[in-house]
Amino acid sequence: MSDTTASQGWFTSLANPTRFLALSGRVLPYLAAAAVITSVIGLYMSFTAPEDYQQGITVRIMFIHVPAAWLAMMCYSVMAVASIGTLVWRHPLADVAAKSALPIGAAFTFLSLLTGSLWGRPMWGTWWVWDARLTSVFVLLLMYLGLMALHKAMDDPARAARPAAVLTLVGFINIPIIKFSVDWWNTLHQPASVIRLDGPTIHASMLYPLLVMAIAYTLIFFTLHFMAMRNEIWRRRVAAMRRQAAQSIGGETRP
Amino acid sequence: MMALLKRDLAIATRSGGAAMLGVLFFLAVVAVIPFGIGPDLNLLSRIGPAILWIGALLASLLGLDRLFQADREDGSLDMLVMQDWFGLVATVFVKSLAHWLATGLPLVLAAPLLGLLMNMTALSTGAVMLTLLAGTPAISFIGAVGAAIAVALPRGGLLVSILVLPLAIPILIFGVSASYAAVTDPDPFLPPFMILSAITLFFAALGPVAAAAALKGASD
């Protein structure tokens, strides 16, 4: 595979990313505004929610912690779907989506670990325990970081796409393990209390702030993801143009 | 396929001696532990199974980056990738198997000697050998994915370890818990051992397919 064919393939496939750029450019301001508004409402509701009779004020950490953990898993699922797109249809946008979701997902995972640790100190008496839920989320963080290292190690994004997609799909087996770790093993982490068959087991006064925060986090995720995807597309275009320019200069100087 | 197995085994045992290096690394890692935590024989016999497992895990990761790299350097990897899909999957399977026979099996055989150094009982050493025998193939199979992903990189060795270690954590968890369950009385040995075997079979099915997909992706 020579360099020219690669850049030609890249330019012919630009039709679709261009449409994405136009569309996301129009949607993005509204998405960002919605994210900000729901975050403000969600934070207000979180701080006015009643304190837990056992946990006291530390229960408010949950409104930050739980949506972050949900989004960490959702982000990986988005990446897994995008990876299928990369492997099956070789869609260039799918690779961009998977790659630009990486740092966001790593940030959400880190946030959930950090807030969980802050909550665990007063409640469990320890910053960290090696129970199944915590360990599996920690493995998720390691996989995000490993994938980021893989992308860093390869200079050509087109060649990093498929290996990274394979690794993302192999790592997806961790997501059900995270979800069901609290059911399969006896863990210190409490079992699922919102998404369960017989309905949520927490009181409405805490459920609604939690759900609003979850919506806010989701909106924040998509806002950031679209912005990161646009950046990634522009970055690749600049790289392709540079390569083009370097080639044309090389062609002129060489006889 | 038998010819490929024989060829890979011959390469591993003769030139460079990847198999011997793995065992030596295993010995070195385990031998370093008593210096770190002190020569308390009771403590060593208690944590012995875990030490042996961690040493074996690290030693199996050691030669992984060479799994496809040598073939890539002499060009035979392109020939392997050019066959049809099932041929490629079977090839990766055979190569992972050869990697295990060359690096994993010697570790299992070296385990009793190290168990002796760790002051472990015969029963505990036997349990570690059995779980290593059942568990180390999984490391080779899932490691093939990492090796296939990093094949195009000039210095992929460290990256392979970083990518494979998170996926190898379940192997370590159930391997160690099965080894301990054999020694401590109330815990049943069979459930963790069965899960360990299941992980090995699952990775034996998943690893070659994923590695073949990554090799195909890296070559075109």
Q: Give one DSSP letter per residue of B12-62, joined into a string.
A: HHSSTTHHHHHHHHHHHHHHHHHHHH---HHHHHHHHHHHHHHHHHHHHHH
Mutation to test the A interface, candidates B141, B163, B176, B209, most A Cβ within 10 Å? B163
d(CA A166, CA B164): 13
Inspect the interface and report whether the beta carbons of A154 and B156 lie closer than 8 Å.
no
The CB density around residue A219, as the number of other CB atoms within 10 Å, is 20
Token digits for A179?
A: 């979800």
Smallest CA-to-CA distance from A236 within A1, A87, A21 is with A21
- Tens of pLDDT, residue by residue, chain B (220 residues): 777 777 777 777 666 566 677 888 888 888 888 888 877 778 888 888 888 888 888 888 877 877 787 777 777 777 777 788 888 888 888 888 888 888 888 888 888 888 888 777 888 888 888 888 988 899 989 888 888 888 877 677 788 888 888 888 888 888 888 888 877 767 777 888 888 899 899 989 888 888 888 888 776 6
Token digits for A94?
A: 């799918």
Inspect the interface and report whether the beta carbons of B206 and A154 lie closer than 8 Å.
no
d(CA A69, CA A178): 10
d(CA A29, CA A26): 7
What's chain B's Rg over C-alpha atoms?
Answer: 18
* Phi, psi at A205, each rounded to 5°: -65, -25
A86 three-state secondary structure: helix
Q: Is B50 on the interface with A (CB under 8 A)?
A: no
* A87 interaction partners in chain B (CB closer than 8 Å): 213, 217
Neighbouring-strand partners of residue A56: A52
d(CA B25, CA B58): 8
Min Cα separation A163/chain B (Å): 5
**Searching chain B, which residue's CA lies closest to the CA of residue A155?**
B153
Provide the residue ranges of all domains of chain A, joining segments of one domain with +: 53-241
* A167 interaction partners in chain B (CB closer than 8 Å): 145-146, 149, 163, 210, 214
The CB density around residue B35, as the number of other CB atoms within 10 Å, is 8
d(CA A170, CA B203): 10
Neighbouring-strand partners of residue A52: A56
